[in-house]
Chains A and B, each alone.
Chain A
């Protein structure tokens, strides 16, 4: 019996074999291929790439398969792989104004240059289970109608439009050539600058940010947001190789960007202006980017001289607890043996109870 509580190497190896068997499931059914995951579970792949901080659809699909669809576990797998990759430099900032837009909506304007482009979206689906998808023969090859005219190439960002009138604060790019904070190389520092904060939020757990963003809407740090613009599409990634000295395009990535427009800040020197909250994620992750933009804005409380009263405004609270790889590990480490500490507590509580009983007896006498 005593042996049973001490796990051996054999037990671990057997557990791995068992998990491999469970992962495979019923062998009568064909095994899931990475291409199937990549093509038919795209949103899961997008989330894993975003929070795993690695833009690689194949590896994300592999991680999802290996984790039996547990996305937080898949994110962890991708992160652990990412750490081992060599860095060969930093790309130029991506320019979302030049995005090949597939979806672009603004809740702030009815119409605007470039128009509203609904694109692929579940927004207006009726959430009725579609039993056609359950049919044995599948859905065949659904085909969307091609629009009569191409999407406008010129699609300025809504915040840039507001900028012309000076109605919204300037986006202050901290020195474009300067180094950008990198959480994967350096520990977090407080007070955190916005580059560090945005990186943390981009990698942060979608559920955590969603709840925090929601809390700001319900009064815990309200900042009156409008979804200024949400856009989805492909942007070019440019890199300046030292030997060339000018930027070349090395590929493209799909990103979702959300610009929230929030209520005013102003001062004696400056008239009131809208303020910004920003969200960006790999792939198609609207819920994540919107929540991120709300939390980014809430965390600007210090910079904008707002009172810091609520969890979403508290940078140590948010940034230290947003990472699901850290959170999942630490919560689940409680599964590890703690019997030395527990034994210490047993001893202590017995001693305290003995003392309590003695005191009680004395009092009774």
Chain B
């Protein structure tokens, strides 16, 4: 990976009292073994001896344990939440690894060797040299249909996924379309039904034949699963109701991007709103390249200045 000025050096006050990347080496080895098994059986949920992390369950402890087990001194880490580098939880997890692993962090997707994400796949393509680590709240795609773990495991063992097909069919009967917009179930390698974590179904097609290794960590539920590079990932559908992704009538108000996942930003209490890219790095890069959206330049500049000022303030404090 090339280094650039975008890369933020590790925080100077690295914690001495804990092992590199917080977890002890035995635990990391145990997790790496589970990852190997997960890679060998794509889409299969491997139980692992998840540890208590110093962040709450449900806040990315599974993804953090996976990242902690694979990260080394040479790695550059990017952390996103909702596609953005600057959401509180992403900032917090990035801070955690800067403190405990003293690795470089970045906001630039193609500079990162590991990207840990919650709820999005980056808009920029990723490569074979990269690993995408997902934080998973609920690894079991069948859980909403069958709460019992024993039953779910049997259904996976027998590849008995009729229940899910029926549930999708019931949506069509009731609403006229499949009413699942995120956590949309996929079949991995024609064998295991898998929950793509709550990424929007917009991102599902990116998983198919993805060049980077995709690892999924569920800390509270103590499961790890994986999609090796270039694996077939198919979103469930019907011949007469093919899988479709979300589309927006507008483009990004800041960078004008036409084919990205957009966040709706409420501007006032009279229905005013605009749409902006959820992938903050992708959007910023496009703006730097001279793209612009429908938002008047002055407003976009004010917005960029406000965000930039905040980023600079944070970097300034870090440098002190």
Whether A2 and B303, one on each chain, are in contact in the complex, defined by CB atoms closer than 8 angstroms, is: yes
User: Which residues of the other chain, B, contact A12 by a CB distance below 8 angstroms?
Assistant: 88, 91-92, 95
Whether A316 and B200, one on each chain, are in contact in the complex, defined by CB atoms closer than 8 angstroms, is: no
A10 at the interface (CB under 8 A from B): yes
A121 at the interface (CB under 8 A from B): no
User: Which residues of the other chain, B, contact A330 by a CB distance below 8 angstroms?
Assistant: 57-58, 137, 220
Residue of A nearest to B89 (CB): A336
Whether A329 and B58, one on each chain, are in contact in the complex, defined by CB atoms closer than 8 angstroms, is: yes
Using known A-B contacts A12-B91, A332-B58, A344-B201, determine if residue A79 contacts B52 with beta carbons closer than 8 Å: yes
User: Which residues of the other chain, B, contact A8 by a CB distance below 8 angstroms?
Assistant: 86, 88, 91, 310-311, 313-314
Output the least CB separation between A340 and chain B (Å).
5
- Expressed in whole angstroms, the Cα–Cα distance for A346 and B264 within the complex equals 9
- Expressed in whole angstroms, the Cα–Cα distance for A10 and B50 within the complex equals 31
Whether B24 and A84, one on each chain, are in contact in the complex, defined by CB atoms closer than 8 angstroms, is: yes
Whether A6 and B86, one on each chain, are in contact in the complex, defined by CB atoms closer than 8 angstroms, is: yes
* B18, B120, B179 pick with most chain A CB within 10 angstroms: B179
User: Which residues of the other chain, A, contact B114 by a CB distance below 8 angstroms?
Assistant: none
User: Which residues of the other chain, A, contact B169 by a CB distance below 8 angstroms?
Assistant: none
A94 at the interface (CB under 8 A from B): no
B127 at the interface (CB under 8 A from A): no
Whether B52 and A325, one on each chain, are in contact in the complex, defined by CB atoms closer than 8 angstroms, is: yes
User: Which residues of the other chain, A, contact B137 by a CB distance below 8 angstroms?
Assistant: 330, 333
Q: How many A-B residue pairs have CB under 8 A?
A: 162
User: Which residues of the other chain, B, contact A3 by a CB distance below 8 angstroms?
Assistant: 303, 306-307, 310
Whether A344 and B317, one on each chain, are in contact in the complex, defined by CB atoms closer than 8 angstroms, is: no
Whether A339 and B82, one on each chain, are in contact in the complex, defined by CB atoms closer than 8 angstroms, is: yes
B53 at the interface (CB under 8 A from A): yes
Tally of B interface residues using CB under 8 Å: 70
- Expressed in whole angstroms, the Cα–Cα distance for A86 and B81 within the complex equals 33
Whether B314 and A336, one on each chain, are in contact in the complex, defined by CB atoms closer than 8 angstroms, is: no
Q: Mark B271-286, 1 if CB is under 8 A from A, else 0.
A: 0000010100000000
A326 at the interface (CB under 8 A from B): yes
Output the least CB separation between A10 and chain B (Å).
5
A351 at the interface (CB under 8 A from B): yes
- Choice from A76, A188, A340 contacting B120 with Cβ under 8 Å: A340
Using known A-B contacts A6-B86, A12-B91, determine if residue A76 contacts B56 with beta carbons closer than 8 Å: yes
B59 at the interface (CB under 8 A from A): yes
Question: What are 16 A-B contacts defined by CB distance under 8 Å?
Answer: A3-B307, A7-B91, A8-B310, A11-B88, A80-B52, A84-B18, A184-B49, A329-B58, A333-B56, A333-B57, A339-B278, A340-B278, A343-B264, A344-B201, A352-B179, A355-B176
Question: Closest 3 A-B residue pairs measured CB to CB?
Answer: A333-B58, A329-B57, A329-B56
> Which B residues are closer than 8 A to A by beta carbons?
18-19, 22, 24, 47-54, 56-59, 61, 81-84, 86-89, 91-92, 95, 118-120, 137, 147-150, 175-177, 179, 181-183, 198-202, 220, 222-223, 246, 248, 261-265, 267, 276, 278, 303, 306-307, 310-311, 313-314, 317-318
> Which A residues are closer than 8 A to B by beta carbons?
1-3, 6-13, 76, 79-80, 82-84, 86, 184-191, 316, 320, 325-326, 328-333, 336-341, 343-348, 351-352, 355, 359
